[in-house]
Amino acid sequence: MPAELCSRMTDGECREAVVFISHTLSEPVLSRFRQLERETAPEKDVFFAYDTTGVNAASRQTTRQLVGDGLRTFEVSQIVDTAYPDPWADSGEKSIVPGNIDLLFIYFSKIEPSYSRYWFIEYDVAYTGPWSEVFQRFKQSTADLLGTTLTPYEHLPDWYWWPSFDPASELDRSKWVRGFFPIVRLSTDAIELLDEGYRAGWTGHHEAVMPTLLHTKGLEIEDIGGTGYFVKSKNRNRFYTNTPDHPTLAPGSFVYRPARPEPGRQSGTLWHPIKPNAGRLIGNIRLMKHRILKRLGF
């Protein structure tokens, strides 16, 4: 179903899935997933996409009891496709890290094909407000890709992952775009084009492939907020902050590093990465430093 039709159809006909992605299971992770369920259902179907690579049968059963009917498990071997070139796999074994998480997006759309659009949200993304605010804000958006930090090549020529990027044909670098996608919404048209692009020979980190491929082929890409080139005026400085020309995107609320143990206090804001153990790690490092200095007589 073309994405542009969604804004002209009733809620019941234009179906969106919200897919929470995690390779780990803990009470903070489950709490974040349950928040999504509370603040999203029944308008949207919410799924927990859980990476069970190396997880034993007993743990899988426990996970199913904790999560419920929305659980969808996968292993890396299931979501890779030998039809796709893989620039990361020198050993011949395909993977999703680094830069191939979009293979999960393609895989999920195939096992749950009855949706027009899919939100994919990683487990370490938090929103300080009801998630319904985010979804409602973009309900009428016709974008095939909604993401963050969408930046043209000319504004970020030294980005770390550009050397990995290789379009299937000659493509002027002025058309290259990078993004940052711990949260992303994709239309079925976008996912199908991504699948076709990989089969045609596109390779590289998904943060380069996804926005460049879709933008080049005429699909609409849009930034959720921030101050970038692809953000709508009504959403400028909305939903998140970061520093696109810094390797870690810091400072800001939505960055690659450093991790925070909990989101900041600013309401209506997306935060990443939020990892409960981050504060404990920082505390341990400080304690070790204190002990070392004490032994040295400082």
CA 166 → CA 106, 108, 268, distances in Å? 20, 25, 37
Q: Which of 6-10, 60-64, 150-154 has the lowest mean pLDDT?
A: 6-10
Tell me, what DSSP letter sits at residue 52?
-
What does pTM read for this prediction?
A: 0.88
Residue 106 to residue 61: CA distance in whole angstroms: 25
Residue 280 has a pLDDT of 44
CA 73 → CA 21, 49, 148, 171, 197, distances in Å? 10, 6, 26, 37, 26
Model confidence band, residue 84 (pLDDT cutoffs 50, 70, 90)? confident
Residue 13 has a pLDDT of 57
Are 177 and 131 within 8 A, CB to CB? no
* Cβ-proximal residues to 176 (8 Å cutoff; 6+ apart), any chain: 152, 153, 162, 165, 208, 212
Structure tokens at 256: 């690659």
Residue 160 has a pLDDT of 95
Name the CATH architecture for the domain at 3-295: Alpha-Beta Complex (3.90)
Mean pLDDT of 102-126: 96
Q: Which of 156-170, 217-231, 275-289 has the lowest mean pLDDT?
A: 275-289
Phi, psi of 180 (to 5 degrees): -140, 120
Burial zone of 92 (CB within 10 Å; 0-12 exposed, 13-18 middle, 19+ buried) = exposed
Residue 291 has a pLDDT of 53
Indicate the domain borders of the chain: 3-295
Q: Which residues of 47-71 are buried (b: 16+ CB within 10 A; e: fewer)?
A: bbbbbbeebeeeeeeebeeebeebb
Residue 48 has a pLDDT of 98
Model confidence band, residue 268 (pLDDT cutoffs 50, 70, 90)? very high
Phi, psi of 116 (to 5 degrees): -85, -35
Model confidence band, residue 3 (pLDDT cutoffs 50, 70, 90)? very low
pLDDT tens digits along 226-261? 999 999 999 999 999 999 999 999 999 999 999 999
Are 84 and 199 within 8 A, CB to CB? yes
Beta-sheet pairing, 16-22 with 117-122: parallel
Indicate the residue type of 181: F
The answer on pLDDT for 17 being more than 90 is yes
Residue 141 has a pLDDT of 96
